[in-house]
Amino acid sequence: MAGLSLPARHVVALLVAVVSVAVFVVPTLANASASGSPSSLPRVPLFKKRVTLALVRAVLRERARQLVRNAGSGRRVANEGDDLEPDHVALNNYLDAQYTAEIGIGTPPQTFRVVMDTGSANLWVPSRKCRFSIPCYFHRKYDSGSSSTYEEDGTDISIHYGTGAMAGFLSRDVVTVGTVAVQHQGFAEAMKEPGTAFILAKFDGILGLGFMEISVDRVTPVWYNMVEQRLVPEPVFSFWLNRDTEGQMGGEMVLGGVDPKHFTGEHTWSNVTRRGYWQFAIDDVTVDGESAGFCQHGCSAIADTGTSLLSGPTAVIAEINQAIGATGVISQQCKQMVTQYGPMIVDLLQAQVDPEKVCQQVHLCDDGENHLKTTTSSSSSSSSGLGVMEVLVEHGEEEVKGRAWELKVVGDNEPLCKFCETFVFWIERQVKLNKSKAEILEKLDKLCDHLPSPRGESVVDCRKLDDMPTVSFVISGKKFELTAHQYVLRESQGGQEECISGFMGLDVPPPSGPLWILGDIFLGVYHSVYDFGNERVGFAPATPVPT
């Protein structure tokens, strides 16, 4: 649909996704909860407000009200032999797009609302010294002069995102999450926030829960220090994200274990395939039980609490969007490509030309590389792209620095090359099914109608949710299903309901890709456990609001 604008909550959602794309472990999940009953674990409850159009508009105009809870009351510090007591900290779930916690920094604690992000590893908040970056004026700022436990560092730090860069300097202070007080924690005081889009963000900063390997400048993550300072009963944490729009609790993060009230059955475990993000292998992606065909040689996924949507290879997202009747906004360009190059590509593949060489032979790819190979590396770093007409991600020397993503266009032929490689993926599957040339071109033309727009959004018919297929992710041999009511996002726009596909095209070139990012749409349906010592992540069906 031409001219479609992304709803407010998803502008924020994409912002979080860009900012964001833990943890030493217990021998078994049973041990994680056995060492202390669920009531003895530190926990971070999230509370949800009912979303109305008026609220959305107000959020775009005004700052969120600051919470008044004193995060420093009864803070826990490391003392040998201390029993760890339960802890509840009020958190916000903003529009199912941001799950944030109220933390304290300094003595007495200065409170900040931060995204609890499994897709990054650094902590940063705005600095009181930030005077020339407009977003800083819309958020709470850390004042080192008001803290008796402040320790000067001063090292410059910069974290790059698609919307810009966070630039500032390092400091150390006491960081309090609930009643857990982490001593001498390094964090960044932001002097420049990454883009004016942060004016709209309902969080002040980010608290990363990823591995040290992606920590910019190797700053020790907050979670590592919690474990090292023996502030949690077990080196494991878990997330329960409530997607019930009628519920008051937005969810809960449990530090040091799990809460059995938050899930049913047993967790299915998958080993971390690359230390950095919580990255693991997925066996397949299916639509109504049929394989999408993109993981024959393996696929990787990231469990990312800092991302609200589900992102995956554009070619697969287009097929999913076709199955659910979603429409994008770049179909005309795609159809022109089908008319001009489709017959040649079909002929070459039917003649059994190497699929990786086809786009070179039709002179649409000139770099000798295939960006949509279905090979993956278990030790590679992750990156991101934004659809077939958009830019690729290049890590370069920033590879080990977390989400230091530099976005750029790679050559004049790049968009055409990406289109071609997407076509090759689609056509190759049809050739294997012995489809005729006419059938293949007709199928290709229809798929063009369902490519996601460069910004990711695709609209579906709200009246047909019950008829839409189930989309499943196969992890460690087990299917994790999502129904249309779970993966379609419903909005009220101008008094009318609008439904948007929760799937966003994202092309990650080899060796890092193909890559899926399982954000809050998935993590709201499935309770997640992050087990660092065994380097694995677990999923189980999430329960409704615990009684």
Q: How far is CA 290 from CA 319, 425, 471, 499, in A?
A: 11, 16, 9, 24
Q: If you search the block for the tokens 């041990």, which residue do you land on?
A: 31
325 contact partners, CB below 8 Å, separation of at least 6: 460, 461, 464, 468
Classify residue 325 as left (phi > 0), alpha (psi -120 to 50) or beta.
left
Is the separation of the CB atoms in 44 and 253 below 8 Å?
yes
Q: Produce one character per residue of 396-433: b if its CB has 16 or more CB atoms within 10 Å, e if not.
A: eebbebbbbbbbeebeeebbbbbbbbbbbbbbbbbbee
Q: Are strands 515-518 and 310-312 parallel, antiparallel or unpaired?
A: antiparallel
Distance (Å, rounded) from C-alpha 172 to C-alpha 188?
A: 9
Distance (Å, rounded) from C-alpha 243 to C-alpha 544?
A: 9
Which of 306, 332, 309 has the alpha carbon at shortest distance from 455?
A: 309
Which listed residue (96, 173, 284, 304) is catalytic?
304
Half-sphere exposure of 373 (CA within 13 A, CB side): 14
Q: How far is CA 98 from CA 210, 286, 458, in A?
A: 17, 28, 21
Is the separation of the CB atoms in 255 and 209 below 8 Å?
no
Is the separation of the CB atoms in 102 and 71 below 8 Å?
yes
Which of 28, 26, 92, 89 has the alpha carbon at shortest distance from 232?
A: 26
Q: How far is CA 232 from CA 83, 84, 189, 236, in A?
A: 10, 7, 26, 8
Written as one letter, the residue type at 42 is P
State yes or no: is 117 an active-site residue: yes
Half-sphere exposure of 175 (CA within 13 A, CB side): 28
State yes or no: is 244 an active-site residue: no
Angle at 301 between CA 367 and CA 530, to 5 degrees: 145
Q: Which residues are catalytic?
A: 117, 304
